[in-house]
């Protein structure tokens, strides 16, 4: 989609600009553009990735940023809504971007930019600005004198115990308990059904619970479960002490909400875990006895979900956004900053 940001310029200055300004002041190397419309900053409604008033006038001239600007993926529909894949790369460079990320057709993008330079649509001055920024960044990172990584140092550098522990701490501290009727924390052990979106996701959750001596059954229903998948999950829930169901984008795939509702009708306590964005609860508000938002289906986020479900860690996360009602976007079911705990 192509999101529309309705903040005024003053709201942008107060709410949106400070983290960017702080990053720029600290010498950040790169900034990524977003495929969003922001009328207060560019009334042409071009997405920011293609907007010269935003990438050049605002980011470079007003905020003083002279580092590398990389686009978000040019394969995303938000930036392709009105312009073809031959025009988007050209427009992004004209707007002030330096690196074009993941054009869906690389040859088409390359030749479109080459033709734009040859015809003068993209000036050599503009092209050289980007080339210079990229070369300066490579130089600053030492990539000319020492361009290759040392594979012997890999496991001393990537995924170290200290890094993994820090990542887990961050995940534990941000996992948000949005609703809870007393189902959580689930004390002791028992039989659980883990169902819903994601083969790896549900499998990881089930495995983590088994490590805590829970007996689990894993039923993968997919992003858009049909009646057969829903029936299979309901049958598997019979006799269980707890159901953990994962969702990812219930607004896009409403059958996920049907799955949660059907599981709720079994009478077994249902813990719904939104493993990407926190908005899913709006589509099955009355059918989840407890609702966790992990913001991630990575291993750390799923481990945090299990820790919260079983009471090993206190959920201390707070919503970073309002969660609007499914049928009334102007009404917030839960406001930014909301989050429950167990104490």
- Beta-strand runs (E) in 140-248: 176-180, 191-196, 215-220, 242-247
Is 142 a residue whose pLDDT tops 80? yes
- The predicted structure's pLDDT at residue 287: 97
Residue span(s) of the chain under CATH 3.40.50.1700 come to: 161-334
Of the candidates 197, 222, 220, 190, the one whose C-alpha atom is nearest the C-alpha of residue 309 is: 190
Measured between alpha carbons, how far is 170 from 193 in angstroms, rounded to an integer? 27
Average pLDDT on 157-185 reads 96
Is 276 a residue whose pLDDT tops 90? yes
- The predicted structure's pLDDT at residue 44: 96
Pairing of strands 270-274, 191-196: unpaired
Q: Which fold has domain 161-334?
A: Rossmann fold (3.40.50)
- The predicted structure's pLDDT at residue 155: 87
Class of 9-140 per CATH? alpha beta
Average pLDDT on 185-191 reads 94
Of the candidates 176, 186, 160, 170, the one whose C-alpha atom is nearest the C-alpha of residue 244 is: 186
Of the candidates 202, 195, 293, 285, the one whose C-alpha atom is nearest the C-alpha of residue 243 is: 195
CA distances for 254 relative to 13, 99, 129, 223, 232, angstroms:
37, 37, 47, 9, 18
Measured between alpha carbons, how far is 87 from 49 in angstroms, rounded to an integer? 12
Average pLDDT on 259-270 reads 98
Measured between alpha carbons, how far is 154 from 144 in angstroms, rounded to an integer? 20
Q: For 84-133, how does the pLDDT look when each residue is reduced to its tens digit (9 = 90+)?
A: 999 999 999 999 999 999 999 999 999 999 999 999 999 999 999 999 99
- The predicted structure's pLDDT at residue 48: 97
Mean pLDDT for all residues in the chain: 96
- The predicted structure's pLDDT at residue 334: 98
Q: Which residues are CB-neighbours of 154 under 8 A, at least 6 positions away? A: none
- The predicted structure's pLDDT at residue 149: 87
- The predicted structure's pLDDT at residue 1: 76
With beta carbons less than 8 A apart as the criterion, state whether 276 and 249 touch: yes
Q: For 39-64, how does the pLDDT look when each residue is reduced to its tens digit (9 = 90+)?
A: 999 999 999 999 999 999 999 999 99
Residue span(s) of the chain under CATH 3.20.20.300 come to: 9-140
Of the candidates 228, 225, 161, the one whose C-alpha atom is nearest the C-alpha of residue 245 is: 225
């Amino acid at each position: 989609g192509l999101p529309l940001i309705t903040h005024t310029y003053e709201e942008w200055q107060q709410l949106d600009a400070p983290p960017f300004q702080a990053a720029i002041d600290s010498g950040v190397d790169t900034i990524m553009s977003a495929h969003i419309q922001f009328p207060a900053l560019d009334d042409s409604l071009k997405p920011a990735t293609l907007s010269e008033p935003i990438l050049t006038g605002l980011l470079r001239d007003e905020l003083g940023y002279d580092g590398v600007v990389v686009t978000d993926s040019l394969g995303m529909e938000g930036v392709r809504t009105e312009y073809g894949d031959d025009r988007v790369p050209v427009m992004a460079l004209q707007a002030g971007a330096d690196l074009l990320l993941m054009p869906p057709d690389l040859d088409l993008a390359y030749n479109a930019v080459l033709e734009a330079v040859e015809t003068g649509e993209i000036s050599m001055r503009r092209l050289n600005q980007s080339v210079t920024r990229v070369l300066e960044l490579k130089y600053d990172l030492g990539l000319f004198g020492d361009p290759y990584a040392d594979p012997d140092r890999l496991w001393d550098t990537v995924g170290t115990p200290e890094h993994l522990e820090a990542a887990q701490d961050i995940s534990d501290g941000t996992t948000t308990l949005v609703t809870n009727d007393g189902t959580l924390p689930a004390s002791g052990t028992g039989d659980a059904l883990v169902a819903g979106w994601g083969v790896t996701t549900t499998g990881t959750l089930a495995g983590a619970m088994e490590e805590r001596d829970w007996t689990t059954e894993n039923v993968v229903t997919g992003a858009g479960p049909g009646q057969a998948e829903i029936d299979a999950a309901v049958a598997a829930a019979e006799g269980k002490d707890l159901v953990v169901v994962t969702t990812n984008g219930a607004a896009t795939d409403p059958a996920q909400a049907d799955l949660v509702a059907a599981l709720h009708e079994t009478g077994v306590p249902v813990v719904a875990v939104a493993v990407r964005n926190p908005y899913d609860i709006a589509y099955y508000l009355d059918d989840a006895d407890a609702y966790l938002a992990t913001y991630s289906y990575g291993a750390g986020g799923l481990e945090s979900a299990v820790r919260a479900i079983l009471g090993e860690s206190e959920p201390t996360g707070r919503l970073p956004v309002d969660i609007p009602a499914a049928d009334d976007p102007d009404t917030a079911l839960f406001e930014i900053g909301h989050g429950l705990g167990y104490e």
